[in-house]
Structure 1
Amino acid sequence: MIVALDDVAAAGGLLARALDLPEDAADGHVLAARLAAPPTGRRVVRLTTADGAGLAFASINDADPELGHVELLAVLPSKRRHGLGSALLSEAERRLADLGATRVRLGGNPPCYAWPGIDVRYTPAVCLARRAGYKVTDTAWNMTADLTLHSAAAPADEARLESTGVKVLPAGPDAPEWVRSIWGDGWAWEVEQSLDRTGAGCYVAVRDGEILGFAAYGANRPSWFGPMGTAPVAEGTGVGRVLLRRCLDDQRAAGHTTAQIGWAGPIGFYSKAVAARLERIFWIYTKTL
Structure 2
Amino acid sequence: MQILPLSESNLKEACSVYNASVDECDNLSLDWFRFHTLDDPDFCPETTLLAVEDGRAASFAHGVRREHANGVSGFIKSFATLPEYRSRRYAKALFQVIESHLAGCGVSAVKMGCPAPRYITPGIDPRLYTPAVDFLMGRGFKYTRMAYNMDAELAGRNFCTKDAEDALKSKGIIIYRMEPEEKDLLAEFITAEGWGKNWLLEATYAMQSNPPGLFVAKKDGKIAGFAACGALRPGFFGPMGTAASMRGLGVGKILLKKCLSHMQTMGRDTCHISAVGPLRFYHKSVGAKVSRIFWEMEKPLI
Q: Same fold (TM over 0.5)?
A: yes
Question: Is 1:146 matched up with 2:153?
Answer: yes
2: CA distance, partners of 1:276 / 1:137: 26
Give the structure 2 partner of residue 203 of structure 1: 215
Q: Pairwise CA RMSD of aligned residues?
A: 2.0
Deviations 1:176-215 (A, max 9, x none): 4132332221101111111113575100011232211000
2: CA distance, partners of 1:153 / 1:186: 30
SS of the residue corresponding to residue 241 of structure 2 reads strand
Give the structure 1 partner of residue 289 of structure 2: 277
**What amino acid does structure 2 have at the position aligned with 1:166?**
I
Contact preservation (8 Å) 1:200, 1:222:
no
Deviations 1:74-98 (A, max 9, x none): 1122322221222222221112112
SS of the residue corresponding to residue 190 of structure 1 reads helix
Give the structure 2 partner of residue 16 of structure 1: 19
**What amino acid does structure 2 have at the position aligned with 1:243?**
L
**What amino acid does structure 2 have at the position aligned with 1:36?**
L
Give the structure 1 partner of residue 182 of structure 2: 174
**What amino acid does structure 1 have at the position aligned with 2:50?**
T
1:263 corresponds, among 275, 281, 284, to 275
Question: Is 1:2 matched up with 2:3?
Answer: yes
Give identity over the alignment, percent: 33
Give the structure 2 partner of residue 61 of structure 1: 66
Question: Is 1:97 matched up with 2:103?
Answer: yes
Instruction: Return 5+ residue gaps in structure 2 as ranges.
Output: none
1:9-158 correspondence runs (5 A): 9-19=12-22, 21-27=23-29, 29-39=31-41, 42=42, 44=44, 45-51=47-53, 52-63=57-68, 65-120=71-126, 121-148=128-155, 150-151=157-158, 154-158=161-165
Instruction: Return 5+ residue gaps in structure 1 as ranges.
Output: none
Q: For structure 1, which segment, 165-174 or 206-215, has the greater mean C-alpha deviation from structure 2 after superposition?
A: 165-174
2: CA distance, partners of 1:208 / 1:162: 11
Q: For structure 1, which segment, 126-135 or 59-68, has the greater mean C-alpha deviation from structure 2 after superposition?
A: 59-68
Give the structure 1 partner of residue 238 of structure 2: 226
TM-score normalized with structure 1 length:
0.91
> Post-superposition shift, 1:104?
0.8
2: CA distance, partners of 1:153 / 1:170: 15
**What amino acid does structure 1 have at the position aligned with 2:103?**
A
Contact preservation (8 Å) 2:151, 2:272:
yes
Q: For structure 1, which segment, 149-158 or 74-83, has the greater mean C-alpha deviation from structure 2 after superposition?
A: 149-158
Contact preservation (8 Å) 2:160, 2:257:
no
Decide whether aligned partners of structure 1 residues 65 and 211 sit closer, same or farther in structure 2, where only a CA change above 3 A counts.
closer
Aligned residues: 286
**What amino acid does structure 1 have at the position aligned with 2:198?**
G
SS of the residue corresponding to residue 119 of structure 1 reads coil
2:261 corresponds, among 240, 245, 249, to 249
TM-score normalized with structure 2 length:
0.88
